[in-house]
Amino acid sequence: MDAVISGVGVALPPATAQDDIWDGYFAHHYTGARHGLARRIFANAGVRTRQAVVSPLLEDVANWSTERRMRRYQAEAVPLGKAAVDRALADAGVAAGDLGLFAVCSCTGYATPGLDILLARDLGMSPNVQRLFVGHMGCYAALPGLGTVSDFVVARGRPALLLCAELTSLHLQPPGARADIQQIVSHALFSDAAAAVVVTPHDQNHPGYAVRELAAITDTSTADHMTWEVTDLGFRMGLSPKVPAVLAAHVRGLVEQVLSKHGRSIADVDGWAVHPGGPKILDVVQERLDLPAAALAESRAVLAAHGNCSSPTVLLVLNELRRRPVPPQRIVMLAFGPGLTLYVTLLEGSTLAA
């Protein structure tokens, strides 16, 4: 039995132009020598607009306590997640009460009862639905999450749903001595979003993308290159400029390993959903895989329109690929994050995988 992605739903908070965010807030957030550097980083981030549940133009959370940020997370994440799940269920033609597993990925907020419990209640899921919450995996969490719900579908023969919801805007850090380059980069890139996918047993009457293969590699010698630390003033991002070099060392080998298991090569892939961690990340993937510029058009478009939304971002790219006039038949999804960890997933149109 194949596990098939049969529905996708996206929910986004209000958008603001990157230039307006810079002019209206961050131009005053950084002073002295940091100001010119920050301006260049914002201008070269590849981001045109970003979405945020808490816009710094309206509400400055930089000095909020972690407790206050977590309370706001719960208030904002529930309706945003509900909208994404509603849309995914409608797209798949599946009722909430029919789900056997509901998995949630989020690293930007914690509370109990969490999103999995509250949304299962509010959306009318069965009291017997199994739930899974995946936290602190960061930007690549969608792919192990997708692997888990797909394994459930294959083993149980019942539909499952994955929700990725991140509110990075709640973790704006205060200016001052700790406003290092890594913080400037994260402030220039990160955004908020929720994305959900419904995975069902294969059904010829409802085509989708079969989850054919999933693989990962973690280079623990670079574990300090990407961090997400809980502080008294929210969660603080650590993002080394060495990350693209680590990705360059591993990406081609892992992609070829996944494809070769199915008798395929890079040339057989007509859709690439690459997590747009930043422009340099996309440049490295394109170079190492010898891809034409058009292959990463959707990934670059998502970065420009939405920024880096952490775990939902690769699902936003998948959604864009599905909306092509002629959708691709074979998609490689690629995401990376703390560890440093790289995940690769192969999807095939359900007619190919049948």
Exactly one of 105, 107, 139, 164 is catalytic; which is it? 139
| Type of residue numbered 147 | G
Q: Could you give the CA distance from residue 191 to residue 186 in angstroms, rounded to a whole number?
A: 9
Tell me how many degrees the CA angle 94-97-103 measures, rounded to the nearest 5: 80
Q: Could you give the CA distance from residue 56 to residue 228 in angstroms, rounded to a whole number?
A: 21
Q: Which of 163, 186, 307 is nearest to 238 (CA)?
A: 186
Q: How large is the C-alpha radius of gyration of the chain?
A: 19
Asked if 80 and 53 touch (Cβ cutoff 8 Å), the reply is yes
164 tagged catalytic: no
Return the HEC string of the chain: CCEEEEEEEEECCCEEEHHHHHHHHHHHHCCCHHHHHHHHHHHCCCCCEEECCCCCCCCCCCCCCHHHHHHHHHHHHHHHHHHHHHHHHHHHCCCHHHCCEEEEECCCCCCCCCHHHHHHHHCCCCCCCEEEEECCCHHHCHHHHHHHHHHHHHHHCCCEEEEEEEEHHHHCCCCCCCCCHHHHHHHHHECEEEEEEEEEECCCCCCCEEEEEEEEEECHHHHHHEEEEEECCEEEEEECCCHHHHHHHHHHHHHHHHHHCCCCCHHHCCEEEECCCCHHHHHHHHHHCCCCHHHHHHHHHHHHHHCECCCCHHHHHHHHHHCCCCCCCEEEEEEEECCCEEEEEEEEEHHHHC
Q: Which residues are catalytic?
A: 139
